[in-house]
Amino acid sequence: MVRGNTSNVLVAILTIVTLVALTGYQVTSETSAVRLLGRLGAALIELDRWLPAHRDDIELLARDRPNQPLVLAELPIDVAIPASAALDAPMPVLRATIVEAMGRRLYEHGAGAIQDEEGESHLGITEPLRWAVDALDESAHGFWQLLLIIAGLTLLAVLAGHAWMRQSPLPGLAVGSAIAALLALMAWLAVTAIGSSLHGAIDEEIARVARDGVWLGLRNSLAATAIGLGALYAAHTLMGRRPEESWDEWDEFEYEEQEPRKAPPY
């Protein structure tokens, strides 16, 4: 019993680590991170104010060079968009193109992509924007990918060990998923509370981006918890008792069958 409890604790811990790594991997994937970083870039330059004031200039530059990428040199993030996206394009299309270009630039080059007119970056080490960009860029994705591989393979090895020892890993999986969901819920509530007390477009957007990332982890953990509890219920319903108890009885039955029968006395 002690050995089973200890092994299930290990499964629970590895489940938590794997779910955290999975969330980090998903949030920092190219599609998701570019979208989130684009939102940060739009908040940084207050794009909804900047774009209407510069729409005519952008169209003029696009007409002068219709076959070349249009470089938006006035932005603190060096981006280029197709000229076709600025020629008589609806405002939402142009805005989405600029946001996607800023997000991709930040994803590939990190916080160093935010520079002034002289090409220097003034983001300090304590700047929340720098931390947010560094947490979502391509190098961060590599870290989460490596952690997910290590945690996932370790968890699979432990599960294989449970199968070899004829022990059920389902309690550990369910408990670990439930703990991960609880931690994600607490983090989501904390980020939401912090975001409601912030002022400023960029700080509010950072809080919203963090909340969306934590929400993805909460969703993953809840799904894993539901699967774990469903598997436990199915095992209990179909087998009526814990699988390891049946396996132990089967071992005892095999042992009794292999004992030689005693010769009858004469």
* 18 lies in the same domain as 144: yes
Q: Is the pLDDT of residue 110 over 80?
A: yes
Phi, psi of 81 (to 5 degrees): -125, 155
Q: Is the pLDDT of residue 246 over 50?
A: no
What pTM was computed for the model?
0.81
* Contact criterion met (CB below 8 Å) for 183 and 19: no
State mean pLDDT over 147-164: 92
Band of pLDDT at residue 60, cut at 50, 70 and 90: confident
* 96 lies in the same domain as 152: no
Distance CA 185, CA 194 (A): 14
Q: Is the pLDDT of residue 264 over 80?
A: no
Q: Is the pLDDT of residue 76 over 90?
A: no
Token pair for 203: 């700080």
* 88 lies in the same domain as 152: no
* 49 lies in the same domain as 103: yes
* Contact criterion met (CB below 8 Å) for 20 and 185: no
* 23 lies in the same domain as 55: no
Q: Is the pLDDT of residue 172 over 60?
A: yes
Residue from 138, 140, 173, 145 nearest 159 by CA: 173
- For residue 77, the model assigns a pLDDT of 86
State which of 110, 135, 160 marks the end of a domain. 135
Asked if residue 142 belongs to a domain, the reply is: yes
Asked if residue 129 belongs to a domain, the reply is: yes
Range of the domain at 230: 1-28+137-237
Band of pLDDT at residue 125, cut at 50, 70 and 90: confident
Q: Is the pLDDT of residue 144 over 70?
A: yes
Asked if residue 249 belongs to a domain, the reply is: no
State which of 135, 165, 197 marks the end of a domain. 135
Asked if residue 36 belongs to a domain, the reply is: no
- For residue 39, the model assigns a pLDDT of 94
Asked if residue 250 belongs to a domain, the reply is: no
- Whole-angstrom distance between the N-terminal and C-terminal Cα of the chain? 45
- For residue 113, the model assigns a pLDDT of 84
State which of 88, 114, 135 marks the end of a domain. 135
* 128 lies in the same domain as 198: no
Token pair for 155: 């968890």
Angle between helices 128-136 and 30-45 (to 10 degrees): 160
* 177 lies in the same domain as 230: yes
* 122 lies in the same domain as 142: no
- For residue 102, the model assigns a pLDDT of 92
Asked if residue 19 belongs to a domain, the reply is: yes
Distance CA 217, CA 161 (A): 27
> DSSP for the chain?
-HHHHHHHHHHHHHHHHHHHHHHHHHHTSHHHHHHHHHHHHHHHHTHHHHHHHHHHHHHHHHHHSTTS-EEETTSSB-EEE-GGGTSS--HHHHHHHHHHHHHHHHHHHGGGGB--TTS-----TT-HHHHHHHHHSHHHHHHHHHHHHHHHHHHHHHHHHHHHHT---HHHHHHHHHHHHHHHHHHHHHHHHHHHT--SHHHHHHHHHHHHHHHHHHHHHHHHHHHHHHHHHHHHHHHSS-HHHHHHHHHHHHHHHHSPPPPPP-
**Mean pLDDT in the chain?**
84
Asked if residue 266 belongs to a domain, the reply is: no
Task: Tell me the HSE value of 88 on the side-chain side, using a 13 A CA sphere.
Answer: 2
Asked if residue 33 belongs to a domain, the reply is: no
* Contact criterion met (CB below 8 Å) for 169 and 8: yes
* 128 lies in the same domain as 145: no
* 210 lies in the same domain as 84: no
Burial of 65 (0-12, 13-18, 19+ CB in 10 A): exposed
- 130 vs 87, residue with greater confidence: 130
pLDDT in tens, 208-240: 999 999 999 999 999 999 998 998 888 778 765
Q: Is the pLDDT of residue 59 over 50?
A: yes
* 23 lies in the same domain as 154: yes
- For residue 247, the model assigns a pLDDT of 47
Residue 264: strand pairing partners: none
* 90 lies in the same domain as 208: no
For the chain, the domain total comes to 2
Band of pLDDT at residue 123, cut at 50, 70 and 90: confident
